[in-house]
Chains A and B, each alone.
Chain A
């Protein structure tokens, strides 16, 4: 079975641009969460979605948004990119919301120049 897949694996953007990151959960998993991992730090929670509804939001500005599709895949959108948005963005899926069986993807490395 395929694990959590994220795309793209790497990308470089310019300050002020917009970016869309994509995540496909494990088959049968209905919950997707997004985390930001800045170099040298632990991951920080951004969003959690379950059954296409937002179930949790971390302390991130409104430039960050996300959505979940009927097939449970998800997109993370970041507008007006700042240099500080450079990070590894991780997606995690789980069969249910609030559970403890999270599986992480390999992440998308975003570099803002």
Chain B
């Protein structure tokens, strides 16, 4: 059974940092692109970042470039999102998702809530 389990969300002040994790099982993690997608009531679903199998290619939505870093540990079947300089508009549920190609997002985690507020 495929499972993606996010953790690390929480309440943080503007300007603060959080590190999200996504633990994966049920498929060969090291063979797959992986992505982070976030969801807010106002903007809906938004692609945030993705990374290829060995980490040599990373893509980010413009609004998080320079602040967020996607990474992975293939030995531990884990995906990460380091979020720095957080802003109120980063408040969202963050999902990790498998990307089998062209952002087809066939498996998703349950999401972790990030709230940026003073």
Q: Tell me if chain B binds chain A.
A: no
Residues on A lying within 8 angstroms of B by beta carbon are none
